[in-house]
Amino acid sequence: MTGVLVLLRRELRLALRQWGDVAMVLSFFVITVVLFPFGIGPEPNILTRISPGIIWVTALLASMLSLDRLFLADYEDGSLDLLVAGPLPLMLVVLTKCAAHWLTTGLPLIAAAPLLAVLLNMDAAAFPVLIVAMALGMPTLTLLGAVGAALTLGARRGGVLLSLLLLPLYIPVLIFGVGAVDAALGELAVRPHLLFLGALFLFALVLAPWASAAALREAVA
Confidence of residue 161 (pLDDT cuts 50, 70, 90): confident
Q: Is the pLDDT of residue 17 over 90?
A: no
Angle, alpha carbons 86-1-149 (nearest 5°): 55
What is the tens place of the pLDDT at every residue in 63-116? Answer: 888 787 788 777 777 777 787 887 788 888 889 889 988 988 889 999 999 999
What is the amino acid identity at position 61?
A: L
Measured CA to CA, the distance from residue 122 to residue 115 in angstroms comes to 10
Measured CA to CA, the distance from residue 90 to residue 80 in angstroms comes to 10
- 117 to 28, 121, 191: CA distances (angstroms): 15, 6, 21
Lowest mean pLDDT among 167-171, 174-178, 213-217: 213-217
* pTM score over 0.85: yes
Phi first, then psi: give them for residue 166, nearest 5 degrees: -90, -35
What is the amino acid identity at position 70?
A: L
Confidence of residue 158 (pLDDT cuts 50, 70, 90): low
Q: What pLDDT, on a 0 to 100 scale, did the predictor assign at position 192? A: 94
Angle, alpha carbons 29-65-149 (nearest 5°): 145
Measured CA to CA, the distance from residue 23 to residue 13 in angstroms comes to 15
Q: What pLDDT, on a 0 to 100 scale, did the predictor assign at position 8? A: 78
Which among 156, 153, 137 is positioned nearest to 214, based on CA atoms?
153
